[in-house]
Chain A
Amino acid sequence: MIQLLLIHLIAILLCIAGFLALAVAMDRHQRDLLGRKLAPREARIARMAGGGLLVLALALDMIGLGAAYGAIVWFSHLSLGAAAMLTWITRLASVRKSKSPKGTSF
């Protein structure tokens, strides 16, 4: 039971991290999330890391829960990971907006 919960939890965290890395790889989100722009090489590494983390989540699900079952669960983990990550950066953006003086971009 605990083991199952852990697999779900870790896979979801991997998905969140994966999406986060993918977002960081995109120009428009770098200032929001990092406060600076990434060099093209760094962005490429972030993109690969993002993809890698999602694949890692898939591997964990398939090994931990069985190949067929794990693959199905992975899609749900992707959904949850994306939802969690977007909720978080939405809040981040609105917090920054309210903190920064009116008129300046964050």
Chain B
Amino acid sequence: MKGGLRQSMAWLHTWTGLLFGWLLFAVFLTGTCAFFQEEITRWMQPELTGTADPSQAVQSAVHFLEGKAPDAESWFITLPSARNMQTSLFWRPKRVEGEPRRRNRGETSATLDSAGNTVEARETRGGFFLYRFHFDLHYMPVRWARDLVSIASMFMLIAILTGVVTHKKIFVDFFMLRFGKGQRSWLDAHNVTAVFALPFYLMITYTGLVTLATQNMPWGIAANYADTSKFFAEVFPERERQERSDERVPLAPIGPMLEQASRHWDGAAIGYLSVTLPGDRNATVTVTRALSSSVNTRAPTMAFNGATGRPLTLPAATGGALATQGVMVGLHAGRFADWGLRWLYFLSGVGGTIMVGSGLVLWTVKRRAKLPDPARPHFGFRLVERLNVATIAGFPAGIAAYFLTNRLLPPHMAGRAEWEIHSIFILWGGMLLYAIVRPTRRAWIEGLMLAALLYLAVPLVNALTVPRNGLVGLFTGDWLFVAFDLTMLATAAGFAWAAHRMTRAKATQPPRRLARQPAELSPAE
């Protein structure tokens, strides 16, 4: 390799960052939204109101299931929490010999409020879609998507580590970092956002890879287990399968079991419970602690005999590796975080998104002045430039469109949830076409303005279409809507500011000067 360590690291940083930059931008942005996935879902289903009382919710849920699926194989009940008012139910119907297992979850699931009424709300995938997109993408098989995202994350990790070497002066000159010093403002944005939350980026990228570790590194399991399912059976032991006794015994009251479990976990909330063979003498109730009560996502469980209500011993898999993995996944998803830390996570995520975006722009900024003929750049340059506009302006605009279509599509339209999702990609693709036909500078300014306008439109359209909004929320204590409106306005302001800067910067500085700036903080290339 020519040049020193720093040059080769700079090369690696530039190209690993570029190759998957656009995907990483989308993953970072939707992953950041996913810290608030429950809140986004609640915003996207404004019909659902009320408060949640977990103990009442359990009673209502059991009552509902006893009426709906008394002889099911098992029931699964996700309890409401501080962040989610609804109880989600899912049941597996009794197996009938010779009939294939039914796969349609729609027929065997329900959402209840605390009082036990099924809730009717507009069909949407809400924040859950944004969460799933950040590792499953869309319009492609999940397996491929996860491979792609894994490779991109690996590149991200390389880009972070090589970036530390490349931009090492940002540590020496830490307090010399400045916001928006004229021509170097893209580099500043990149450096500043990178340094501030560097531990967060390292953590989130590394732990993100850990969440997909068994897919990406299957060899450890393959070397020790002939059959992968044996590995999982050992890691996640289940109680021995109970056979149906065909003797009907009513289910013991669940409330006391939950109380006992909660006491056992020092008063922690219950997140989830399942009942196998409900109504049978061999029924089992398994209670799982809420994920919000510990960093480790391997939440402990307790099992009870469903007929007598007595606790059962449960084989537990524990060990350093499992606990480490659980804590890493927990750190990544931040489900344990309360409001303060959740916002800090969100802000760090926003910083990461800006870091990736500004890094992508930097690639073109650095090369523009070195082009042999700046008026007619080569194909690769134009491609990067256009993909940048399409993704950095278009993808966030698509998410605003996701929120807008949620309010604008008719509530009972067939396939409305799918069309909400399509709107993201229509905007993204549309912006790419637009960037191809428009001169790049105009496309930048207009694309960023469009994103700003769409985010500005979200609170307005919301106020016109549903009775809940941020202004009313101020008086009624509907803080979800207050926070959502404010976040939308702040995002709109951010894009408008970026568009404004772009207009000003282009008007006052000929692009040629960019190359001759003293490369104080820039990597040697």
Contact = CB atoms under 8 A, between A and B. Distances in A.
Interface of A: 4-5, 8, 19, 22-23, 26, 28-29, 68-69, 72-73, 75-80, 82-83, 86-87, 89-90, 93
Interface stretch (B84-92, B194-202, B217-225): B194-202
Given A26-B175, A72-B331, A76-B341, A83 B196 contact: yes
A75 B345 CA distance: 10
Interface in B282-324: 295
6 contacts: A28-B176, A72-B331, A76-B197, A79-B344, A82-B195, A89-B175
A69 B294 CA distance: 9
The CB with the most chain A CB atoms within 10 A, among B197, B348, B351, is that of B197
Interface of B: 174-179, 192, 195-197, 199-200, 203, 295, 331, 336, 338, 340-341, 344-345, 347-348, 351
Given A68-B295, A79-B196, A23 B175 contact: yes
B16 to A, nearest CB: 24
Contact of A79 (B174, B176, B177, B200): B200
A90 B192 CA distance: 12
Main secondary structure of the interface of B (DSSP, over half): helix
Nearest to A94: B178
A86 B200 contact: no
B103 to A, nearest CB: 39
A76 B176 contact: no
Contacts of A4: 338, 340
Contacts of A86: 175, 177-179, 192
Contacts, number: 57
A49 B351 CA distance: 29
B294 to A, nearest CB: 9
Contact of B341 (A5, A73, A83): A73
A82 B336 contact: no
A26 B176 CA distance: 11
Contact of A90 (B179, B331, B338, B345): B179
Contacts of B200: 75-76, 79
A89 B178 CA distance: 9
A8 B341 CA distance: 9
Given A72-B331, A72-B341, A79 B348 contact: yes
Contacts of A26: 175
Nearest to A74: B199
A69 B336 contact: yes
A83 B344 CA distance: 13
Nearest to B331: A72
What 4 pairs between A and B have smallest CB-CB spacing?
A76-B344, A23-B175, A79-B196, A79-B197
A89 B177 CA distance: 10
A80 B344 contact: yes
A77 B196 CA distance: 10
B340 A8 contact: yes
